[in-house]
Amino acid sequence: MKTSPDFNTLPPFYRNYVSFVEQLEMLPALKSSTEAAQDLIQTIPEEKGIYRYADGKWSIKELICHMMDAERIFAYRALRFARNDNTPLAGFEENNYAPEANAHARTLEQLVREMQNLRTSTLDLFSSFTPEMLQRTGTANNSLVSVVNIGYIIAGHETHHCSILKQRYLNPA
């Protein structure tokens, strides 16, 4: 099935993320974004993993853990909606998750491997959805969103944060 974002069921907050990958079909977008993220993160020296570009900002490792936490939450939402569960789902406070991720106790190599495993699982999940399931919608964080858009959000969110990694962490002006 050919996929594209459905802007009628895409909360405005996520439109910027989806704009990074909207020219691709959803599964290729997920594959492309993770390949780019893996390639980028593998170039970061271990000692830079604790770097923060400003006080109060996440470290590189915390940012990577945030990307994985968000992917897990988004994939859970997609699973619920694809299975026709219409229960409204709450949002999550990302800033509460970062300090609890135990990011600095892990190496960048471990985080990259975890990201690979997570994305493989996410791809398996989205590949299992029928065209009908991909079009299903649900409410998360008080906003209507479709399953296909959640796939785009995952890919775009990762691409967005890789851009932040490049601009603010790895190539500061």
pLDDT band at residue 154 under the 50/70/90 scheme: very high
Q: Hey, which residues does 146 pair with through a beta bridge?
A: 137
Residue ranges and CATH numbers for the domains of the chain are 7-170 (1.20.120.450)
Integer Cα distance of 68 and 64 in angstroms = 6
How many residues appear in the chain?
A: 173
Inter-axis angle of helices 108-128 and 26-41, to 10 degrees? Answer: 170
What average pLDDT does the chain have?
96
Q: Is it the case that residue 165 has pLDDT exceeding 80?
A: yes
Q: Is it the case that residue 171 has pLDDT exceeding 90?
A: no
Quote the percentage of the chain above a pLDDT of 70: 98
What average pLDDT score do residues 22-26 get? Answer: 97
pLDDT band at residue 96 under the 50/70/90 scheme: very high
The one-letter amino acid at 71: E
pLDDT band at residue 173 under the 50/70/90 scheme: low
Q: Is it the case that residue 117 has pLDDT exceeding 90?
A: yes
Task: Compute CA distances 111 → 16, 38, 80, 82, 139, whole Å.
Answer: 26, 10, 26, 28, 30
Least confident interval from 23-37, 68-82, 159-173: 159-173
Integer Cα distance of 136 and 146 in angstroms = 6
pLDDT tens string 56-79: 999 999 999 999 999 999 999 999
pLDDT band at residue 2 under the 50/70/90 scheme: confident
Integer Cα distance of 117 and 6 in angstroms = 28
Q: Hey, which residues does 140 pair with through a beta bridge?
A: 89, 143
